[in-house]
Amino acid sequence: MRYEGTVYRPPSEAHSLLIQATIGCPHNRCTFCSLYKGVKFKVRPVEEIKEDLQMAHSFYGDWIRSIFFPDGNTIIMKTRDLVDIFTHARQLFPNLERITVYGSARFVNKKSQAELQELKASGLSRIHMGMESGDDEVLAKIRKGTTSSAIIEAGNKLKEAGVELSEYYLVGVGGLELSQQHAINSALTLNQIIPDFIRIRTYVPVPNSPLYEDYQNGEFQLLTPHQALRETRWLIENLDCPGSIVTSDHISNYCNVNGLLPRDQKYMLQGIEQALTLDESILRPGPITHL
Ligand code: SF4
């Protein structure tokens, strides 16, 4: 397999075969993100992707059960090309149970309902969607290139197509000023989707990104650990997503908030209350840990 640049994947894809289908991100404008800064976006030729799948098969045999196709927003590829590589992967790996890609609402919405259904039929199991926020003011500030209504539309299109959806919420990306509306409007947005997974990350300023510069200049107020926990509490207490799994599967978070909604909502809130009784000095130190 051939890789270009740094390959990023969600923690839940730790056991997946990674085959780059795209390089970089076609949006590449989010103010908090440094992942692909300076990387010119491109889609790899389908034949090259298939060759890499073949190489992986020569190495791993039938052992592969899950494949994630980085980089950012692979869903932007032409539907017929995605169908081609997913079909090829399923033919090569008879035990394949899961195929996943990253897909922002902006790019998912470029696909018709029929295309998403075709992708599902060819093997696409799950989309990792970096919602970050469901609040339009925060989304505009972080230059996510989408709105809450577009996020709801994309989420519901995926659900209708039978594709699982992981939505990512970024604690603190609205700063202190927008913290409460960021959490509450994100919960209200998620309530209109009811995604399979709600995955929580906490914003950490990362060099080589505009929001890091704002943070350094004192123009962006980073949440303290307790403020981040209070924002997470606003999110959780406003969620009405029966059947969604909430998970804090990331090192950036100050507290593990995990469970099934609504069954575990009370326990998640209790966990946050407990964390709020701890002195901030014993919670994750340092705002500029590189993730
Ligand atoms: S957060 Fe996602 S969509 Fe935004 S620039 Fe980074 S990779 Fe691209």
Say yes or no: CB of residue 30 within 6 Å of ligand 1: yes
Q: What is the pLDDT of residue 291?
A: 38
Judge whether 290 lies within some domain.
no
Q: What is the pLDDT of residue 180?
A: 98
Judge whether 288 lies within some domain.
no
Judge whether 6 lies within some domain.
no
Judge whether 203 lies within some domain.
yes
Q: What is the pLDDT of residue 166?
A: 98
Which ligand 1 atom sits closest to the C-alpha of 104? 3
Ligand 1, atom 5, residue with closest C-alpha: 28
Say yes or no: CB of residue 72 within 6 Å of ligand 1: yes
What are the CA-CA distances from residue 150 to residues 1, 120, 157, 241, 279 (Å)? 36, 21, 10, 18, 39
- SS3 for 208-262 is CCHHHHHHHCCCCCCCCHHHHHHHHHHHHHCCCCCCCEEECCCCCCCCCCCEECC
The number of folded domains in the chain is: 1
Q: What is the pLDDT of residue 286?
A: 53
Judge whether 145 lies within some domain.
yes
Say yes or no: CB of residue 130 within 6 Å of ligand 1: yes
Judge whether 289 lies within some domain.
no
Judge whether 266 lies within some domain.
yes
Ligand 1, atom 3, residue with closest C-alpha: 27
Cα of 37 from ligand 1 centre, angstroms: 10
Judge whether 4 lies within some domain.
no
* pTM given for the model: 0.95
Cα of 194 from ligand 1 centre, angstroms: 22
Q: Which structural domain range is residue 178 located in? A: 11-282
Give Cβ neighbours of residue 105 (< 8 Å, ≥ 6 apart). 129, 131, 146, 150, 151, 153, 154, 155
Q: What is the pLDDT of residue 126?
A: 97
Provide the token pair at 238: 């406003």
Computed over its alpha carbons, how large is the radius of gyration of the chain? Answer: 19
CATH, residue 147: 3.20.20.70
List average pLDDT for each run of 10 residues in the chain, which is 291 residues long: 93 95 97 94 98 97 96 97 98 97 97 98 98 98 98 98 98 98 98 98 95 96 96 98 96 93 97 94 61 38
